Amino acid sequence: MSCTISPFQETKTDMLSRLSYRSAGESHGAAVTVILEGVPRGLELDMDQIDAELRRRQGGAGRGGRQRIESDVVHITGGVRKGVTIGSPLCLVVENRDFKIDKLPEPLRPRPGHADLSGCFRYLDHDIRSTLERASARETAGRVAAGGVVRQVLRAVGCEIFGFVRSLGSVALPQKHPGSGLFSNLADRREIRDASHLYTLCEDTDAKMLALVRETAKAGDTLGGLVEVHAAEVLPGVGSCLQWDERLDTRLAAAIMSIPAFKGVEIGMGMAAAKQTGSKVHDEIEPSPTGLPRRRTNRAGGLEGGMTNGQPLVVRGAMKPISTLKKRLRSINMSTGEAEDAGYERSDVCAVSAASVVAEAMVAVVLGDAVLTRVGGETMGEFVERHAGLVEQVRRLVGSDPSAGS
């Protein structure tokens, strides 16, 4: 008896990660460098789009002097030919103008909230500079560059990703905003967000956030907030329930929590679901003319059992206030052991807007990996064709005779 495997049927080997992402570089080193492996051959890269994301990462009210020094653009030194990916690893380089790592002073007073003291414990030395240079959020420029590439892969199959600032300190968008119609007028939403001071979606809320940033800066303090990322037209059935680390919600949560200064993550209703009964949490299923079942609500945030369910993904991340304050917190001198005020490195008052761009990139990298793993394809043409075939199989699934394939 022979057994034929569908071109869309996964094996255990197929469940392994398709995209590989690694970065190198320090805050005041020569550059941030990323190796991104697994992008199919044949993607014509739009470098302007990637650079635009890098510029957005540098924007938003409350940013410090570093953003006036740097003018981030990405250089690709491997993996492309005539602007088109060739299937080999991509090497993405974002150079630092502020390249002075060997000339900077050696800090002795660890800053509460930073990696300074933890790094001393890890390496059993007083070399705070070497730790803070790598722990710095400057590394996220590489993430945004990589995310810019993967977003173009996803866009080829109709998947769009959109992030914004939900709240800043005590100021927040109305709870229902932006609502279920976010992607029905995406161009307008992008225009509103990009024209705002804090990458939010309401002019009145943006004005209140800006006032809070200015007030906090005068006090020598810092602000955190909540960012939200949506992904639309996501292939249903991406992810897995087989192992804990293969669940897509596990991987998304880890990716968001990996962003410097992030302390919490939610998917869909998130923490609020714990306060409700089941009838107010779960999304009822109903038929639709398209053949793909629909939901009137999306409280699950597009994920059930570690797999996408056909609804948009909704992921939120909570960023703490930046740890470097002009209003110095108490610390110690590592050489003398005596109490002193914490050290100060040039810093932002608020970087929540930038963090929303980084969060978009991290969702893109994780989701892109999961979709490529599920769909397969060595070239973009093959990937797009296989994706379309899977979408058609999903549409035919409901209403079909389950015994027809046996």
> 105 preceded by cis ω (within 30°)?
no
The residue with greater pLDDT, 192 or 347, is: 192
Q: Return phi, psi of residue 252, to 5°.
A: -65, -45
> What tens digit of pLDDT does each residue of 15-45 get?
568 999 999 999 999 999 999 999 999 999 9
Sheet holding 171-172, edge to edge: 171-172, 160-168, 225-232, 313-319, 262-267
Per-residue tokens: 194 = 């990009």
For residue 322, give every residue at least 6 positions away whose Cβ sits within 8 Å of its Cβ, in sequence order, or none. 222, 223, 224, 261, 347, 348, 349, 350, 351
Is residue 208 classed as helix, strand or coil in its secondary structure? helix
Q: Is the pLDDT of residue 2 over 70?
A: no
3-state helix, strand, coil in the chain (%, to 5): 35, 20, 45
> What tens digit of pLDDT does each residue of 217-244 get?
999 999 999 999 999 999 999 999 999 9
- Residue labelled with tokens 């240079």: 133
How many percent of the chain have pLDDT more than 90?
Answer: 81
Give residue 305's pLDDT.
97
Q: Where do the domains of the chain lie, and which CATH numbers do they carry?
A: 13-397 (3.60.150.10)
pTM value is: 0.92
Q: Please name the amino acid found at residue 157.
A: V
Per-residue tokens: 405 = 């394939």
Q: Which helix (H) or strand (E) holds 332?
A: strand 330-332
Mean pLDDT in residue range 79-88: 98
Is residue 115 classed as helix, strand or coil in its secondary structure? coil
